[in-house]
A and B are shown apart, each in its own frame.
Chain A
Amino acid sequence: QKEVEQDPGPLSVPEGAIVSLNCTYSNSAFQYFMWYRQYSRKGPELLMYTYSSGNKEDGRFTAQVDKSSKYISLFIRDSQPSDSATYLCAMTLGNQFYFGTGTSLTVIP
């Protein structure tokens, strides 16, 4: 079993839709949880960063962590074509980072 599981998609939604991206993990000791956005031919860009259970909001983006279920989510409200990218979840244990495989998202105008 992988440490971090993420549905690779691809996911295709119409502009304005609410997008839900999810990752599950197996190690309850993970400390920090992150979401990265990666545009085609670019490096991953840190989007959201949290360390506790609950929700963290930043503009149209909400990161949710449920440590009891070992589940994290990223919600994108009012999705835009510019949100089309691959979204990677990541989590840390000490200095080790564990990445999901990424979910490819396309927002159709």
Chain B
Amino acid sequence: SAVISQKPSRDICQRGTSLTIQCQVDSQVTMMFWYRQQPGQSLTLIATANQGSEATYESGFVIDKFPISRPNLTFSTLTVSNMSPEDSSIYLCSADRDLGEQFFGPGTRLTVL
């Protein structure tokens, strides 16, 4: 299995500001993903973080709002820009080894006031 850490674990932010979430994997992985999980709901994929190229965004998510970086095979960041209370959620990073098993980080709990 892969061990994934995320920073920060939680934050409370003001409307209109931006927050960058970091995701670190303890070994090189092929795929990294960013999900959002709102209370009582399942995981919604925001984007796939591609190493060396632009992220691939799912319908309803755009790069201007959720810029993503992936500078190498073990690290990625997600920025939540110009935040509003609707962005309050848990943001999860995950990594997928070649066998198709996906492992998740502990999540970042974001509250926007």
Contacts and interface: CB of A to CB of B under 8 A. Distances in A.
Interface string B29-68: 0010100000011110100100000000000000000000
Interface in A90-109: 90, 92, 95, 97, 99-102
Contacts of A8: 40
Contacts of B100: 31-32, 51, 92
A97 B92 CA distance: 14
The secondary-structure label for the interface of chain B is strand
A46 B101 contact: yes
A8 to B, nearest CB: 8
Nearest to A92: B100
A34 B42 contact: no
Interface residues of B, number: 22
A43 B35 CA distance: 11
Interface string B55-92: 00000000000000000000000000000000000001
B103 A46 contact: yes
A97 B107 CA distance: 18
Contact of A43 (B1, B31, B42, B106): B106
A99 B58 CA distance: 15
9 contacts: A31-B100, A41-B109, A43-B106, A45-B104, A49-B101, A88-B42, A90-B102, A95-B48, A97-B96
Interface of A: 6, 8, 31-32, 34, 36, 41-46, 49, 51, 88, 90, 92, 95, 97, 99-102
